[in-house]
Structure 1
Amino acid sequence: MASPSSPAQVQILHYHGQSFVVGLLWHPLSSLTGYMREARQFGREQAMDIVAVRRTDSIIQAGFAARSAGAVKGMYSLAAVLAGQLGDSWIAAWRIAPNEDRYGLVAVFEGAVIPGSDRVGSAEDIQRKVEQLLGRSIHFAETFLPEEFQRGGRPLEIEALLEPRHLRREHRLHPLVFGLSPGERIRVAGVGILLIASLIGWQQWDAYSSRQIREAAIAAEQVRLAELAELNARAPTEQSLQALEHPWATRPSVDALVEGCQAAIDGLPLSIAGWVFVTAMCNGELLLATYKRTGNSTAAGFIQAAHGYFADSPAFFDQGNSATLRSSLSLPLAGDETLLNASDALAGLTSWLHERSLKPTLKEIPFQVSKPPALPGQPESAVPALPDWKHFELTFSSDLPPAALLRDVPGTGFRLNSITTQLKNYQLSWSVTGDLYAR
């Protein structure tokens, strides 16, 4: 029977009197002879001092943890134990205990534990992660999933797989130490001799191909984890991987974009060295401002004067009579949220705009789903399922600035694409485009 551990990412489960660690940070090691030196370097960079090393015919991979998270020498890596029995390509999830709403998850592809898949979480969290893994260009040879997930496969016999007779010394965690021991030097030399023999013949290309496939899958997962880290750095609350699949989660809220863009546009001078302001567009990441030459003003004078306002040089067009300047913005992101029913969302937003004498144009944007490219040597990917939410595009114009118009606008699922302003007859007019997402 499993028992819960701390709420940290690394968790300790207990089966048959043994302690199993879940939540290791898995990282591939590229050096066949100096992999422990590489592991120590990575451990220092990540402030982690406990490691489990997996060596197979096709990969050397290390799972890292910190003592402060509860992992200690002698415990077993649960992912390593399962990988030693279930093979090189599989995904498995299981309920931790009958009276708990917690599930474990491990996924292995081409012999490597997929980063981020060695974890324990709620039923919702683990089901969402399973959907993400099964929806990618990875084809698992075996699927072990609970019946309540309704994703096929067969249940995982976790108690049987973790019996003491299946545990091996190489599945244990041990501390990272510095330098090479005499025994390690002997093992490195032995690996070098074996390496020379293994590089002969057709196995060279087979090993290379397998490594390319594996590294592509791991690299894709690491990109997603980096994207999640960037989202969490700019979002008000911690986000899950599921948020990366929701376009509204990775964009600024209406209030944040209006405030940031309005301030950037208001800071634009109406004239720079005889060039007058014409129009500006702000999308939350970039501000583009267009100026037009008047009188005997020159491009050289405009370039020199513009340096006081913009870091980038202007881009000229219209035979040198117009120019565009740009500057970057970094606004906080809204993060994920629960969407409203489509009819309620549409009625609420349009009614709010109509009450302010605005005439929005609203249209639904159909989804276009295409097959993701298959990894080298893998079968063709299935077409992903359509999202379970709808997307509407909204536009409207006004003589009033968005900061005044959109105060307290219903913001659930509503994000702005851009704010554009144009100067005509000494009067600014404004155009707003946005997206509404709803169930």
Structure 2
Amino acid sequence: MTILSLNGRKFVVGLRWQALKSSVHYMREARQFGKDHGMDIVVIREGLVTQGGFVSKKSGVTKEMYSAASVLTDVLGPSWLAAFRLDDDRYYLVAADKSAVIPDSDIIGSEDRIRSRMMELNSMFEFSDDQIVAPEDWSFAGVEKPLDSLLTAQNVKKKHRLKQLTFGLSKKEWFRYSTAAILLGAVGIGAWTYFEYERRADQARRAALEAARRAELARLDEDQRRQIASSALTRPWTLKPRPSEMLSLCEGAIYSLPITIGGWVFEASQCTASKLDATYKRTTGSTNVDFQREFAQVFPGASVAYSVKDDTEASFSITMHMPAGGDDLERLQAGMRDMFVAHFQRVDHTIKADKIASQVITPAFLPNGMPWPKDAPAPVPSWNTYAFVFESAGRPSTTMAGLPDDGIRVAIVEATFKEGDASFSWKTVGEIYGLQ
């Protein structure tokens, strides 16, 4: 949780956004949620989906502060995705869909974290260019906007202010019920008749609202079923990098490693979408101290940690950041395996591609930001999956040149150094996806 001071007001970032099911008794539901999760400050957003943004006053917030995400959702429109540049190399990410703040999007972090999360959200919701706000130097869609130009005094409203949750009846509820009781006791039968009429009218209004709410929930249930059936996040390739991107980043990272570190010679490396592992072997005459000294020069500031096994082998890992490849479903073809294998057969290159069970992923959220229903299974796969592996003397990117990115994902790239001719041997592992 972070507090920003802009235009003479303080704005809170990092609220926990929770959908509230009741359109009538949402404050009662909010109090219960706050009590269950140790949170006593809230801001309420009313709309198609009623939401509460929760935080604990132990975090240093007060009732005089405002929710930045709530203000921006009223300023930027029903659906949008925005990243704002802050001081000290920090960035603020927030997004909304159907006038509701998307859970886990009201965050501040480093450029790498914010850009990664922004690409995930854009893959989930497919925002149009005019719905995106991003720094110009990110080469992302949309335009850049200063945060202080949006969080202005004219845009801040009372409904955006944080309020105290009371466990029991609020002061306003106590006042309303007490006043009704006094009036009922003070007036005669005529007043009682009037209030009885009003009570029944109010019940009728509430019943009509509840009926409309149930109808809307039924429509939302149908919308959920549609979104479950079409959710790109259930497809295993959506969040994996495209093969051309991964091969380029992995090969570049491997070739950037020194051949020797303190006399210890590079032996092998394995690259995945999240990390690069490397191992070095000690040679005659080299020592642990030699490796330690030169490693500190290659990776200064203890940015990368290493370990030594049996005083003969050193290994370390480097974190990799790769963009999600997105959904290829509409571009998948029948006969993908035969097309893939034929590419290798033309040059008489050995390739193994075996059919395996197609997997689906059950994500935490639907594309509209609502939690994935607990009892709802993921869609049945409509594609075939084949696991492939091939070895090559040249770069995997050269071997796979000419193949499409769609329907192919690389999972592992391994490189082994051959001291005899100072060259690499490569092994590439991945999956092929094609229509049934």
TM-score for both structures, normalised by structure 1: 0.48
TM-score for both structures, normalised by structure 2: 0.48
